[in-house]
């Protein structure tokens, strides 16, 4: 029997749709997180802007305030059941089912400085492996760390963790993900464990601490907005 043909790894941005995940409840922030302002623009708009140099097409996953998200200039793809709190995997599935490209790159809406080389590094990792998913291993400071870091404290020696919502996935994974969610499963790591996955590590010594800092509260949002900008950021 012939071996199954593996998908062709992304050859460039034109093979990738970028999806900003903004469908969560934002319960800790107490408001629609993706529409909160950061440096004069909505967090979701900032994420779209950072994806434009890394992906051929961009879209938003959002379940509330559809007109406000549509005004950001990208298609809005809600979860199949937007009234159910199914977590980020429901947004990923929506992206896989709507997109026209072979690959989907997902990023959360609440990480204002995610790396501008993310798409190229994830693509390169897939080109060098037989994986169907590439994701990230990096340090993401907690909300309580942000104030000290913004004041100039040195990053602590925290362990690196997988950041699975930063991912590049092949469209063939849609049926598997749909089945996983239909079984009542929600954990991103548990689903990834069933598929060939490769990781890209961002060295915390060479990577600005802001790169994977996410904002879960309005206090954290204001702290990060007031911090000194990483090199190369405006």
For residue 77, give the nearest of 93, 89, 54 by alpha carbon. Answer: 93
Distance (Å, whole) CA 54 – CA 75: 17
The answer to whether the annotation marks 90 as part of a ligand binding site is: no
The predicted pLDDT at position 95 comes to 97
pLDDT in tens, 196-223: 999 999 998 889 999 999 988 888 888 8
Q: Please tell me which residue, 93 or 26, carries the higher pLDDT value.
A: 93
Token digits for 124? 């390169």
Q: How confident is the model at residue 86 (pLDDT cuts 50, 70, 90)?
A: confident
* % pLDDT > 70, the chain: 93
The predicted pLDDT at position 2 comes to 37
Mean of the per-residue pLDDT values for the chain?
89
Q: Please tell me which residue, 92 or 228, carries the higher pLDDT value.
A: 92
Asked if 132 and 171 touch (Cβ cutoff 8 Å), the reply is no
Q: Give domain limits for the chain.
A: 13-140+160-202
List the Cα angle 102/84/192 in 5-degree steps. Answer: 40
The answer to whether the annotation marks 30 as part of a ligand binding site is: no
The predicted pLDDT at position 233 comes to 82
pLDDT in tens, 111-120: 999 999 999 9
* % pLDDT > 90, the chain: 65
pLDDT in tens, 102-150: 999 999 999 999 999 999 999 999 999 989 999 999 999 887 788 888 8
Q: How confident is the model at residue 158 (pLDDT cuts 50, 70, 90)?
A: confident
Task: Say yes or no: domain 13-140+160-202 is CATH 3.40.50.620.
Answer: no
The answer to whether the annotation marks 23 as part of a ligand binding site is: yes
Distance (Å, whole) CA 90 – CA 148: 34
Asked if 63 and 23 touch (Cβ cutoff 8 Å), the reply is yes
B/e letters for 110-121, b = 16+ CB within 10 Å, e = fewer, are: bbbbbbeebbbb
The answer to whether the annotation marks 145 as part of a ligand binding site is: no
For residue 192, give the nearest of 158, 160, 166 by alpha carbon. Answer: 166
DSSP symbols for 46-69: HHHHHHTTT-SEEEEE-SS-HHHH
Distance (Å, whole) CA 79 – CA 87: 10
The predicted pLDDT at position 234 comes to 63
The answer to whether the annotation marks 130 as part of a ligand binding site is: no
Q: How confident is the model at residue 3 (pLDDT cuts 50, 70, 90)?
A: very low
The answer to whether the annotation marks 187 as part of a ligand binding site is: no
Average pLDDT over residues 17-37: 81
For residue 208, give the nearest of 224, 223, 194, 222 by alpha carbon. Answer: 224
The answer to whether the annotation marks 33 as part of a ligand binding site is: yes
């Amino acid at each position: 029997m012939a071996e199954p043909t593996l998908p062709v790894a992304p050859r460039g941005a034109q093979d990738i749709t970028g999806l900003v995940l903004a469908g969560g409840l934002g319960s800790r922030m107490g408001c629609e997180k993706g529409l909160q302002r950061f440096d004069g623009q909505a967090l979701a708009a900032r994420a779209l802007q950072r994806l434009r140099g890394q992906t051929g097409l961009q879209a938003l996953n959002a379940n509330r305030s559809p007109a406000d998200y549509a005004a950001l200039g990208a298609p809005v793809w809600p979860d199949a059941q937007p009234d159910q709190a199914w977590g980020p995997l429901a947004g990923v599935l929506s992206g896989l089912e709507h997109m026209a490209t072979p690959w989907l790159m997902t990023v959360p809406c609440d990480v204002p400085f995610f790396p501008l080389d993310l798409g190229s590094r994830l693509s390169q990792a897939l080109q060098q492996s037989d994986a169907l998913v590439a994701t990230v291993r990096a340090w993401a400071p907690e909300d309580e760390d942000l104030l000290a870091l913004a004041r100039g404290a040195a990053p602590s020696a925290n362990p690196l963790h997988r950041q699975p919502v930063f991912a590049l996935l092949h469209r063939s994974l849609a049926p598997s993900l749909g089945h996983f969610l239909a079984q009542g499963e929600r954990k991103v790591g548990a689903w990834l464990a069933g598929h060939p996955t490769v990781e890209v590590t961002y060295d915390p010594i060479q990577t600005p601490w802001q790169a994977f800092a996410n904002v879960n509260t309005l206090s954290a949002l204001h702290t990060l907005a007031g911090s000194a900008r990483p090199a190369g950021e405006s």
